Amino acid sequence: MWLTMVTGARRGELCALRWDDVELVTGTLRVLRSIAELKTETWEKDTRTHQHRRIALDPESVTQLTAHRARTRPDGRAREVVGMDRELLDLFSSHRHAITTRIRELERAFVARVGREPAPLERTRLTQQATLATRAAKDRHGETLEQRIDRWEAETRWAVAGGFGKVVRDALAQDAGPAAEWSERDVIERALANIGEHRASWLRQDLLRAVSDELPAHLGLAPDQVRPLLEQLADRALADAVPITPPPVLADLPDELRRADGASMFERSGSARFSVAPHLVAEGVLRR
């Protein structure tokens, strides 16, 4: 709900976010996909505009994302903020309810005409048709972010006495319990294994996200302690990684063309790529 207010992104896009899409280091959010839902089934689809985009996060949002108390869902696919009422979350899914109603109408019409239930592919087509049919036309003037927040606040007050303020207080009042136990070596090994499974090569910031994914939700740390921990673990994990970007030639580079860290001003910061030894070995075998 916090990201909904500060980014203006659609609910389906926010539901499709993964921790890989949240770059806490650079303070940006990548919107690559959206979530569609039909009855008890959900699936990923392209964004409404069919375009990927990046959203800059303000410092407070970065702090909230880093420090919020969260729990891992039973399916292990995401983390959820503790204390959010399901009925309140569904309040902001009016388009989903409209789509569900329209899908049922299309399914009844399909059965009446064909004499059988739609197959999975046919059901997907019906869902796409219902999505387009129930999508509101674009308003030329639109709704400003301030107007949207005011409308959400009014809708929340209608459903929950106290509005957004009560929602935030209830979420923050949840007892996080004792900090989870974890092993540094285990986190590093699992982070390297997972990132190597999905990417042939990766950046240090990708490793930061992988390490964050492998850490437990509740570390028992203050918000300003989380970032240094991630940096420390990433540095130690890089000791087990294989650099594949050729080192820059700095011998003849004058000082006025160097950054404060000594790197060339023509080299993009954080652009060095890495891989893991098992992946490079497998590539070598395939080349033979």
143-156: average pLDDT: 70
| 75 confidence band (pLDDT: 50, 70, 90) | very low
pLDDT at 231: 92
8 Å CB contact between 23 and 3: no
Q: Would you say residue 49 has pLDDT above 70?
A: yes
* Residue whose structure tokens are 């060095």: 272
How crowded is residue 85: how many other Cβ atoms within 10 Å of its Cβ? 14
116-129: average pLDDT: 82
277-282: average pLDDT: 73
172-178: average pLDDT: 67
Reduced DSSP (H G I as helix, E B as strand, rest coil) percent helix, strand, coil of the chain, to 5: 50, 10, 35
User: Does residue 101 share a domain with residue 85?
Assistant: no
Kindly state whether residue 277 falls inside one of the protein's structural domains: yes
User: Does residue 65 share a domain with residue 166?
Assistant: yes
Q: Would you say residue 94 has pLDDT above 70?
A: no
pLDDT at 121: 79
User: Does residue 271 share a domain with residue 250?
Assistant: yes
Kindly state whether residue 206 falls inside one of the protein's structural domains: yes
Kindly state whether residue 178 falls inside one of the protein's structural domains: no
Residue 81: domain span: 2-92+137-172
Q: Supply the mean pLDDT for the chain.
A: 75
Kindly state whether residue 177 falls inside one of the protein's structural domains: no
157-177: average pLDDT: 63
DSSP lists the bridge partners of residue 34 as 45
- DSSP-derived letter for residue 245 is S
- More reliable by pLDDT, 139 or 258: 258
Q: Would you say residue 76 has pLDDT above 50?
A: no
User: Does residue 247 share a domain with residue 198?
Assistant: yes
Kindly state whether residue 109 falls inside one of the protein's structural domains: yes
Q: Which two tokens stand for residue 35?
A: 């979530």
pLDDT at 238: 94
User: Does residue 164 share a domain with residue 28?
Assistant: yes
User: Does residue 276 share a domain with residue 210?
Assistant: yes
With CA atoms as reference, report the closest residue to 56 among 29, 36, 38. 29
User: Does residue 216 share a domain with residue 166?
Assistant: no
Range ranked top by mean pLDDT from 51-60, 219-228, 245-254: 219-228
User: Does residue 207 share a domain with residue 149?
Assistant: no
114-139: average pLDDT: 76
Kindly state whether residue 225 falls inside one of the protein's structural domains: yes
8-19: average pLDDT: 76
Kindly state whether residue 113 falls inside one of the protein's structural domains: yes
Kindly state whether residue 65 falls inside one of the protein's structural domains: yes
Count how many domains the chain has: 3
Question: Largest alpha-carbon pair distance within the chain?
Answer: 78
User: Does residue 144 share a domain with residue 130?
Assistant: no
